[in-house]
Structure 1
Amino acid sequence: MDKLDHIFEMQEKLNNFIINNHNLCNKYNSEVWIQKNILALISELSEILDEVNFKWWKNPKAIDRQALKEELVDVLHFFVSMCLHAGMTAEELYQIYLDKNKENLNRQVGNSSQKDYRP
């Protein structure tokens, strides 16, 4: 099992534990779960902002790299949870990422049929 598959498996177990432990079985459909995960992800992104001194009106503090990394992992938790609720496997995510990354690179170098991208 590769690392991404392992992450997906662990997240599915965590999701199931939370759903069962909080009596959420059949309470929400996939669409609502994705909405809830987006809100949680936004909250975690906000916590990352706090770690990287985005408040220009305050004196900056030393960045706590470990705390920053933990917040990034929190984002990953909710992102993978959304993938699972969307019915996406780790392999699908990987393949779609490869295709999209290639498309994005082509756009940046001017090899796109879309007119609003240029090198």
Structure 2
Amino acid sequence: MAQQSHSHGDQGPHGGKMQDVVGVHAELLTAERTLTIHLYDEAGKPVAASGYTASALVGSGQSRQVVQLAPGAENTLSGTAAAPVARGTSITLQIKNPAGRSGQARF
């Protein structure tokens, strides 16, 4: 089985951008006000989101908001922003894995 490697800006299985953070590959999807992160291992298999905590700093111009992301179904973390997230908006993900290790990724 070939090992998948993701560099900054790679596209994930759901069409979102992929970033490496705290030992997993995080795929970001936005739809209106909803932010969803899908977690995958090095082989591209889903990683259970239970035990992970995360927040996203969503910024556009002078406007900034922090969105708390909670584990959802299977390998997802999701949250709802106060306002719709415009295409091209800068998003910084802060994530902590079940072992307590934390990291950041920029989308």
Q: Specify which structure has the bigger relative contact order, considering alpha-carbon pairs within 8 angstroms and separated by 6 or more residues.
A: 1
Same fold (TM over 0.5): no
- Which structure is higher in helix share? 1
TM range (shorter): under 0.3
TM-score (norm 2): 0.24
Query: Based on CA coordinates, which of the two structures has the bigger radius of gyration?
Result: 1
- Which structure is higher in strand share? 2
